[in-house]
A and B are shown apart, each in its own frame.
Chain A
Amino acid sequence: MLGRSFVVARREYFEHVRTKAFWLSTLLVPIFMTAMMVIPAWLASRGGGTVKVAVLDLTGRYFSGLEEKVDTRLSAPTEKLKIELFEQDPGVDPERTREELKRRVHAREFDGILILPESLPGSGAPQYVAPNVAAFRLLSVLDSVVNEILIEDRLSGAGLDPEKVGKLTKRVDLETFKLGAEGEETQDQGQVFLLSYGLVMIIFMSVLGYGIYVMRGVLEEKSSHIVEIIISAVRPFELMLGKILGIGAVGLTQFMLWSLVALAVTSPGVAAAAGLGAIEMPSMPVSLMVFFVVFFVLGFLLYGTLYAGIGAAFNTEKDAQNFQSVITLFLVAPLMLMMVIFNEPNGTLAISLSFVPFFTPMLMFLRMTLVRVPPVQIGASVLLLVLSILAMAWIVGKIYRVGILMQGSKPGFKDILNWIRQA
């Protein structure tokens, strides 16, 4: 029996692995991921150049302090951004000067105009006028510098020492440490969140993507009429099993290729060649990697079986849509529930949810990335999941057996229940 499923799986595997779509997605995903990590870092390091800003200081008091603070702020040797401030004489009519400055900005004499209204620091707000107001780094520097100088002015006005107040009100950042099983502390700056989130998303996307592959494959066999020839030699259940195993193997192959790419990209040599410091990757214990694969495989078996059943019950993807969206809902639900787990990974709600077989592959895995989950819970949830897969395969096998020969009208929920009862 397994022999024939293996023959089917072999075909599914090689036919998929040979397609352009497989290689495209295998290549594009890491390129996209790398781009997501590298491009912001690259842009941040790049946001340089010299920006000329005309300053229309209508108070006549802030310019020198402003210039000083900007220079101090940008004094680091690696700093690539340079802001040059040019004090402008407001003249008799500030409005006219302002219009005149706008013209000069258009003439590219300046990149922008910083206007400090006369009413400062009591009321009113500083303004920055420029063709490009999305230069984040420049704006954040201007914003903080202007704020600093105005606050200092207000403090002095209230008879306080700006320097002293500055020291007293200095912000502190909360440092987070992940407490490991052995009582060790690992400093965390959001990596755990990102890694957990990312891995669960990969499970989600892969199970969804490959599940739908299974459904399409079954639909294709039906609509091309090859299926009757196949099931005259292979039992419907063997065909279904082979299909799911073959496509699952395609998914595993893709993970393997991705891991290789990830290893290559994050190796210091490549990163250095790309002109970057080594990208800091949160480390991932081997056991977690094993469970990642285990939960992908189990999740795919569960959902792949369901998608196979839907493919067998209907003739076109359009007919299948209603049922397909119900299953997709089951798959999306854990994504919505992720926050519950993040907030309290060992809470009663989190534990209960991670035991729902449809959610286990994502939510139990998510808990494992966050906290130490008792092995009993992991074992029990996996066992429950495996039992659900077997039950599902048994039910879907019946739908498959009847449905795969059905052409013509679109069956309803009642018909499908009937098939399960009959077969």
Chain B
Amino acid sequence: MDAILKLQGVSKDFGKHRAVDHLSFEVPEGAIFGLLGPNGAGKSTTIRIIMRILMADSGEVIFQGRELDDERRRDIGYLPEERGLYTKMKVIDQLVYLGNIRGVSRSEAKKRASDWLERFQLEQWAQSKVEALSKGMQQKIQLIGAMIHQPRLLILDEPFSGLDPIVTRELKDLLLKMSSAGVTVVLSTHVLPQVDELCSHICLINRSRPILKGELEEIRTRYGGQLWKLRSRLSTEELESLPGVVSVRALKDEFLVEVQEAETEIFVRELAARGGLEGLARFVPDLENIFLRAVEEDSRDAR
């Protein structure tokens, strides 16, 4: 798969604070790409750099094989984290305007807007002012606005924040549909279960740097292979002293133990000998675990 979007060594400083530090990643065409990280990791800054709202201090943003410029960025669909609409403007005029500034003709934008409104069952609101709409409806209008020029790449910054469960479900379905129609989606979030359901690729950013990136399935096996979940009478310290153990995390009434691949057998044997073995299972981590572990390790490295 060719990369539709590529970041190469992108850095950005705000005064003394480095907001993005040598960030590189590739977004394959047709993927749903999750840009993950804790609050303040630099996700929104990265997205603003891609959209050329902010200028990177160094590095390049390649879109469809060429460095992105102000002209071609209009081909990207963008929904910022802080999103809004002109409240006094009619819904249909607003959508036409949003299409118009991205180079769609007025008549074409009007036609597409009407189609979208119909699809979201909002057609009876076309002539209403935005301020008359509920928040959920406004969010749909914003989304339509981001897609009215039929972008091949859609970038959504925290698209699920503030959505009720119904709209969240609708948005997920829509994104999956768009993806299967060949549209590439980049979304940032710190809510991980959603990524689990949607994303095929991720890049995890912590403290302005990428710490984990690639295909989600591959990352899952890479991390899951070394994780074991078990119940035990032993304490955390005792578990940590067993051969091959890299780390131990105490959960509610279980332990999550990371073991070096090569020493798995010795570990299991020793555990059984110490009588500490009650229920042992390979742990297939959800993204949240991977995320937490990666961030933890990264933060530990920093110390």
Q: A11-B97, A233-B101 are in contact. Are A226 and B70 (CB under 8 A)?
A: no
A391 to chain B, nearest CB (A): 23
The answer to whether residues A15 and B89 also contact, given A7-B97, A235-B70 and a CB cut-off of 8 A, is yes
Residues of B within 8 A of A229 (CB): 78-80, 83-84, 98, 142, 145-146
Cβ-defined contact, B86 with A224, below 8 A:
yes
**Within A75-92, which residues are at the interface with B (CB < 8 Å)?**
none
Q: Are A234 and B85 neighbours in the complex by a CB distance under 8 Å?
A: no
Mostly, the B contact residues are loop
Closest Cβ of chain B to A286, distance in Å, is: 37
> Are B89 and A232 neighbours in the complex by a CB distance under 8 Å?
no
B74 interface contact, C-beta 8 A? yes
**Minimum CB distance partner of B51 in chain A:** A232
**In the assembled complex, how far is the CB of residue B192 from the closest CB belonging to chain A, in whole angstroms?**
25
Please tell me if A142 contacts chain B, counting CB pairs below 8 Å: no
Whose C-beta in chain A lies nearest to the C-beta of B142?
A: A229
Do A231 and B53 touch (CB < 8 A)? Answer: yes
Taking the closest CB of chain A, its distance from the CB of B35, in whole angstroms, is: 16
The minimal Cβ–Cβ distance linking B131 to chain A, given in whole angstroms, is: 10
CA distance A229 to B87 in the complex (A): 14
Asked whether A228 lies within 8 Å of B73 as measured between CB atoms, the reply is no
Please list the residues of chain A having a beta carbon within 8 angstroms of any beta carbon in chain B: 4, 7-8, 11, 15, 220-221, 224-235, 405, 407
B residues with a Cβ closer than 8 A to A are 48, 51-54, 70, 73-74, 76, 78-80, 82-89, 97-98, 100-102, 142, 145-146
Main secondary structure on chain A at its contact with chain B? helix
Among B51, B54, B101, which residue has its beta carbon within 8 angstroms of that of A7? B101
Is there an interface contact between A225 and B83, defined as CB atoms closer than 8 Å? Answer: yes
- Whether A232 lies near B86 (C-beta < 8 A) is no
Contact of A232 among B53, B88, B100 (CB under 8 A): B53
B16 CB to closest chain A CB (Å) equals: 14
CA distance A405 to B73 in the complex (A): 18
A21 to chain B, nearest CB (A): 11
Q: Which residue of B lies closest to A226 (CB)?
A: B84
- How many Å lie between the Cα of A407 and that of B48 in the bound state? 15
Q: How near does chain B come to A419, taking the closest CB pair, in angstroms?
A: 12
* 22 A/B residue pairs, CB under 8 Å, sorted by A: A7-B97, A7-B100, A7-B101, A221-B86, A224-B85, A225-B80, A225-B83, A226-B83, A226-B85, A227-B84, A228-B83, A229-B78, A229-B142, A229-B146, A230-B101, A231-B53, A232-B51, A232-B52, A233-B73, A233-B74, A234-B101, A235-B70
